[in-house]
Amino acid sequence: MAQQVKAVIARAKGAPVEVTTIVVPDPGPGEAVVRIQACGVCHTDLHYREGGINDEFPFLLGHEAAGIVESVGEGVTEVGPGDFVILNWRAVCGQCRACKRGRPQYCFATHNAGQKMTLLDGTELSPALGIGAFAEKTLVAAGQCTKVDPAAEPAVAGLLGCGVMAGLGAAINTGGVGRGDSVAVIGCGGVGGAAVLGSRLAGAAKIIAVDIDDRKLAGAQRLGATHTVNSRTTDPVEAIRALTDGNGADVVVDAVGRPETYTQAFYARDLAGTVVLVGVPTPEMKLELPLLDVFGRGGALKSSWYGDCLPSRDFPMLIDLYLQGRLDLGAFVTETIPLDGVEQAFARMHEGDVLRSVVVL
Ligand SMILES: NC(=O)c1ccc[n+]([C@@H]2O[C@H](COP(=O)([O-])OP(=O)(O)OC[C@H]3O[C@@H](n4cnc5c(N)ncnc54)[C@H](O)[C@@H]3O)[C@@H](O)[C@H]2O)c1
Ligand SMILES: [Zn+2]
Ligand SMILES: [Zn+2]
């Protein structure tokens, strides 16, 4: 029997989000219904609401979630009812050319639920990143459920499902930050803050946090930044060079995703250093760089989708480090809010008041 549950949707571009009743079908073959316990508010949800991702409204928002598997469809063996899981947006197919070459983190055909969740009138919903978890329950592909130690707090665990994993992975997977490296992170919200934390975990010697908001810089310091630069008042390229003996950082992570921050990242890295773009640009943004500088400075310009993570490999390991007290994932939960608090949470995100607001059900 399909179920009716409360959920947060974005009906039209720019309109405030609303809590409404949606219909969640029973899981079909390869699918699972998950009772959501917690779901973080990510900047990408706001991008969806503003029509910055695509125009397939209405969206069922929310995608940084943890919960309990309620039921599974035919043929599902990897998870079962009662399992504590983090939802992921990289359920790899195992069949595409990336998977077959042993690079499943680049899978081109990741799985989502085949059936659609709908409004009461039958209108099909587009779940954010194929998840849609500002909802009492959601329908996903079973491979989108990653089992982790149930001792973890759902509000903390869920954040690994997107932004925190994206930031940690941007530093340690995509950027390959290692012991003794110098790292600069531009934009220290949930994603950039996690890149700072990941750099510390990997043993970076110098971690320079850059933001336009002093509160975010203070937060980054608590996560492991060794130096901070307010780029509203100080030129970040000069500051990063000055802090690295005039060279620039080995790895610079752009966790904002604007032409100006990318340009800063490009010139703030050392010769042969690596730039990692993890912030998501909007369609109208253009980048202009002297091609000779792109060539002459060498190194690598990389983009990071979801921190190049493999959920089955990374989520349980990171949750274990968290439970051992070695990775302060709890620091990202600024506040917990009810399902009808998402619109206000967007406003607070916009004002820079929070790292993460987390809906707890
Ligand atoms: N690549 C991925 O897989 C992935 C996953 C999740 C989120 N994201 C993207 O990462 C970005 C950050 O997400 P978030 O949730 O951390 O957002 P957030 O709003 O919490 O943080 C953004 C931070 O950037 C700072 N900032 C804004 N403009 C700046 C500028 N010009 N210079 C320096 N700092 C600036 C803000 O003060 C804030 O601290 C978003 O674009 C989001 O869509 C990407
Ligand atoms: Zn694949
Ligand atoms: Zn996200």
CA distances from 78 to 29, 95, 141 (A): 13, 18, 11
Q: Do the Cβ atoms of 199 and 171 come closer than 8 Å?
A: yes
Give residue-wise pLDDT tens across range 106-130. Answer: 999 999 999 999 999 999 999 999 9
**Residue 180: Cβ-neighbour burial (10 angstroms; 0-12, 13-18, 19+):** exposed
Q: How far is the CA of 272 from the centre of ligand 1 (A)?
A: 25
What is the Cα–Cα distance from 242 to 317, expressed in whole angstroms? 36
Which residues surround the ion ligand 3 when the cut-off is CB under 5 Å?
Answer: 42, 44, 162-163
Structural tokens at position 102:
């042993």
Shortest-distance ligand to the CA of residue 308: 1
Measure the CA–CA gap between 226 and 205, rounded to whole angstroms: 8
pLDDT digits (tens, 9 = 90+) for 85-97: 999 999 999 999 9
Confirm or reject: Cβ of 212 under 6 Å from ligand 1.
Answer: yes
pLDDT of residue 173: 98
pLDDT computed for residue 214 by the predictor: 96
Q: Tell how far the Cα of 190 is from the centroid of ligand 3, in angstroms.
A: 9
Contact 191, 166 (CB under 8 A): yes
Rg over alpha carbons for the chain, rounded to the nearest Å, is 20
Is the shortest distance between the CB of 304 and ligand 1 below 6 Å? yes
Residue with tokens 């081109």: 108
Backbone φ and ψ for 273, nearest 5 degrees, come out as -80, -175
Q: Which residue has the tokens 């009812």?
A: 81
* Ligand 1 atom 15: residue of nearest CA: 43
Structure confidence at residue 299 (pLDDT): 96
Write down the pLDDT at residue 146: 98
- Residue 241 Cα to ligand 3 midpoint, Å, equals 31
Q: Ligand 3 centre and the CA of 163: distance in Å?
A: 5
Mapped to the 3 state alphabet, what secondary structure does the chain carry? CCEEEEEEEECCCCCCCEEEEEEECCCCCCEEEEEEEEEECCHHHHHHHCCCCCCCCCEECCCEEEEEEEEECCCCCCCCCCCEEEECCCCCCCCCHHHHCCCHHHCCCCCCCCCCCEECCCCECEEHHHCCCCECEEEEEHHHEEECCCCCCHHHHHHHHCHHHHHHHHHHHHCCCCCCCEEEEECCCHHHHHHHHHHHHCCCCEEEEEECCHHHHHHHHHHCCCEEEECCCCCHHHHHHHHCCCCCEEEEEECCCCHHHHHHHHHHEEEEEEEEECCCCCCCCCCCCCHHHHHHCCCEEEECCHHHCCHHHHHHHHHHHHHCCCCCHHHHCCEEECHHHHHHHHHHHHHCCCCCEEEEC
Asked if 314 and 338 touch (Cβ cutoff 8 Å), the reply is no
Residue 353's pLDDT is 87
Low-confidence ranges of the chain (pLDDT < 50): none
Structure tokens at 305: 């989708």
User: For ligand 1, atom 6, which residue shows the shortest CA distance?
Assistant: 163
